[in-house]
Amino acid sequence: MADKRDTGLTLDPKFDSNGLLTAIATDRASGELLMVAHMNAEALAATRASGEAHFWSRSRGRLWKKGETSGHVLRVVEMRIDCDQDALWLICEPAGPACHTGARSCFFRRIEGDGLAPIA
């Protein structure tokens, strides 16, 4: 029998032991996968309140707004949560590249054999 969290209509995020949810961002127009990051309760609340993606930076140990220095914000058009509420899907309108390297997507290489190849 499924848990109420799995089938109900109440938002009840299941944060992991570090207080995080996985969040994936895609481009609304193309459907392209842009990035994967993490959100804590504060990042989720800030995203919902502002309409712009906020994440928890595990490396910096702080909340950050995507594009806070580059201007390449992700405007969130729709948020979806998976069946057990431990992962989010952000459908976004990006204002520039999503990757810190300047690539449109963080997924700009594919694995080929033991190496990597750029995706055109």
Per domain, the residue ranges of the chain are 20-118
pTM of the model: 0.92
Q: Would you list which residues are annotated within the binding site for Zn(2+)?
A: 83, 99, 106
Q: Would you list which residues are annotated within the binding site for Mg(2+)?
A: 82, 84, 86
pLDDT tens, 14-46? 999 999 999 999 999 999 999 999 999 999 999
Q: Would you list which residues are annotated within the binding site?
A: 82-84, 86, 99, 106
pLDDT tens, 45-89? 999 999 999 999 999 999 999 999 999 999 999 999 999 999 999
Q: What is the dihedral of CA 37, 40, 8, 6, to 10 degrees?
A: 60
CATH architecture entry for 20-118: Roll (3.10)
Cα 4 to Cα 69: distance, rounded to the nearest angstrom: 40
Pick from 76, 16, 24: which is nearest to 46 by CA?
76
- Sequence-separated (6 or more) residues with CB below 8 Å from residue 78: 28, 90, 91
- Sequence-separated (6 or more) residues with CB below 8 Å from residue 100: none
